[in-house]
Each structure stands twice: as structure tokens, then as C-alpha cells.
Amino acid sequence: MKRDFQQIEWDAATIEDCRQLVRLAVREDLERQQDWTTLATVAPERRGAADIVSRQAGYVAGIQATAVVVDEMGGRLTFEAFAADGDRIEGRTTLGRLSGSVRDLLTCERIVLNILGRMMGVATLASLYVEKVAGTNARIYDTRKTTPGWRRLEKFAVRCGGAHNHRLGLYDAVLIKDNHLAQFAAAGESQSATAARAVQQARKFLAELGDIEPLPSGGLIEIEVDSLEQLAAVLPEHPEIVLLDNMSLEQLRSGVALRNSVAPEVELEASGGVNLETVRGIAETGVDRISVGGITHAAKSLDVGLDWHA
């Protein structure tokens, strides 16, 4: 695979984002007070265990977040994982077990299940897109259409489902979009000429930066075009990726043929109008990448629950 955006791992940065979300979730549930129902009904010395169970088939994502929740909340609990992130599971699969203080278990229950359900829903939807394009050269990518504060966790979940991460943030790479071109255009200049000049300017800018401000994706340049004329203009400038926005299948096929003849090293990304019904046809045009905002913004949480041991 050619140069790409950084791919999210379950690393120190992801764990720190998870902690921040847990802190907010704790405030939502406890507002710096207590779980009064549990204190009123459960003896402080009571100990027990409960299994975390996925009621639906799908892909595991976020299992490591459970330990972060327990640690962040100071729970007197032990967590044992029975599944790993990226595992494909059937319904009624036990993902792990929490044991220890029943009071602490009840207090952290909803936070654990919310995080797991959300991340597994994203991973499972991502896997459906990946399955749809199997056998083609196209790779499925997410976008920045993520839940505020959840980006690293949702993008990690995308990877658990077998798809790829587009740029993590604005700091990650240069992506020249139509609104950038609208501000950059010179009076009387054609859209095609503006697009080509924007790539030239971006390349010059990054060269002048040198190693002073290293970009995580290594100075990767992508530009969005919405016509074959713009594509023809930017290919000789050799951006790493050209995003073909809201093009028909015929236009995508023509764009791939043009790319192959002019600059075969440039990767083409299709975006716009992508869903589970259309993605296969888009992949078969020969594009290298397909970005799908719906993987994160339209994913439904998987049904994950807690089953208590007798």
C-alpha cells in the first residue's frame, strides 16, 4: 500500500481520550455525588461477579476500555477479558467478566456498556462495508464525521471492523477541499487552474516547513475535485490522493482510466452517496479508496448487557 494516514492503535493517546470520556460519563451519572440507589440497597461488603455479554453478532471493539473504566473510577473490581478487539462474534457471546465489590460493579455498569456498545456498533458497521467490497482493490475509510470527543475511540473501532482510518484531524495532513479552493481562486481563473495551483502551493509550503512542523502523515497531500476537468489538471502535480466527490459511476471509471494514463502512482478516493447498497458498484470502478462518513455518524450501538452470576 502507498503512503497513508496514520492508523489508530490502542495506545497511550487512545487510552487518555478514553479516560477523558469516562470522567465525563462519571460526572453525568454521579454529579460528584453517589449512586444512592446502590448505597441504599446493597451492603458494602457484598461481593459478586457479572459477565459482559453481547446479545448480537458483530465485531468486538473497546474491550480494553473496560479496564480503563474500572481504573478511572477506582473500582474494587477485577476484569477478565474473554474476547479481543477485532474478534468476530456470534450473539450471546461472553466478552469478559467483572468481579469484586457489587456496589462498584453496579455503579460502573452503564458506563462500561455504553462505551462497548458504541464502539462495537461502529466496528460492526465498518465490517459490513469491508465485506461489500471484498475482491476489489478498494479500501474502506472513515471520515472526521465522528462524535465530538470520541474520535480516537470511534476510529479505533473502525479498524477493529477491518476498515482504515482517514486523517485523524486537521493537523494530520493537507486535504484541499472545495471551500479552500473558493478562497484561493484568483480573479478570472478557471476551477481547474485553481486546483492545480493549490497543489503546487501546498507542496511549496510543506517544503518550506521542512522538519520544523512534522505532519503525522508525512506531508501527504490530498485534493478534492468534482469534475474530470479538475482531475486532469491536478494529476500532473502528483498529489498523493485525489478525492472524487459525488461523481457518477461512469465518471469514476473515466477518472480511473485518466489517472492510469497520466499519473498511475496517484490514488483515487471516491466520496459522496456511499452506502451499503452503492459501495460495491463504486469499488468496481477501480478507485483505490472509498470514504464513508456513515460508518461513524450512522452506526447503531450493539446490544451489550450484564448477566449476573447466581
The reply to whether 21 and 167 lie within a common domain is: no
C-alpha cell at 74: 477506582
Q: Is 248 contained in some domain? A: yes
Share of the chain above pLDDT 90, in %: 87
The reply to whether 142 and 111 lie within a common domain is: no
The reply to whether 82 and 209 lie within a common domain is: no
Per the structure, the complete domain to which residue 241 belongs is given by 131-297
pLDDT at residue number 310: 60
Number of structural domains (the chain) is: 2
pLDDT at residue number 228: 97
pLDDT at 24 over 60: yes
Contact 77, 98 (CB under 8 A): yes
- Phi then psi for 196, rounded to 5 degrees? -65, -45
Residue that the C-alpha cell 468481579 belongs to: 99
pLDDT at residue number 248: 97
What does the pLDDT average to over 67-88? Answer: 95
Residue that the C-alpha cell 473502525 belongs to: 158
* Residue range 109-157, pLDDT digits in tens: 999 999 999 999 999 999 999 999 999 999 999 999 999 999 999 999 9
Residue that the C-alpha cell 473504566 belongs to: 69
The reply to whether 64 and 19 lie within a common domain is: yes
Q: Is 203 contained in some domain? A: yes
pLDDT at residue number 1: 55
What does the pLDDT average to over 251-279? Answer: 97
Contact 268, 256 (CB under 8 A): yes
Local confidence band at 57 (pLDDT 50, 70, 90 cut-offs): very high
The reply to whether 71 and 163 lie within a common domain is: no
Question: What does the alpha-carbon distance between residue 152 and residue 34 come to, in Å, rounded to a whole number?
Answer: 30
Cα dist from 294 to 47, 51, 103, 226, whole Å: 42, 31, 38, 20
Contact 171, 216 (CB under 8 A): yes
The reply to whether 142 and 245 lie within a common domain is: yes
* Residue range 95-107, pLDDT digits in tens: 999 999 999 999 9
Q: Angle at the Cα of 268 (from 265 to 270), degrees rounded to 5?
A: 170
Q: Is 89 contained in some domain? A: yes
Q: Hey, is 214 helix, strand or coil?
A: coil
The pTM (predicted TM-score) of the whole model is: 0.94
The reply to whether 138 and 269 lie within a common domain is: yes
* Residue range 188-236, pLDDT digits in tens: 889 999 999 999 999 999 888 877 667 777 789 999 999 999 999 999 9
The reply to whether 139 and 234 lie within a common domain is: yes
The reply to whether 101 and 142 lie within a common domain is: no
pLDDT at 2 over 80: no
pLDDT at residue number 75: 83
Q: Is 106 contained in some domain? A: yes
Q: Identify the burial level of 111 via C-beta atoms within 10 angstroms of its C-beta, where 0-12 means exposed, 13-18 middle and 19 or more buried.
A: buried
Beta bridge partners of 77: 100
Q: Give the residue, 201 or 309, on which the prediction is more confident.
A: 201
Share of the chain above pLDDT 70, in %: 98
Residues acting as catalytic residues: 110, 145, 177, 224, 245
C-alpha cell at 247: 461523481
CATH for 270: 3.20.20.70
Give 169's DSSP letter.
Answer: S
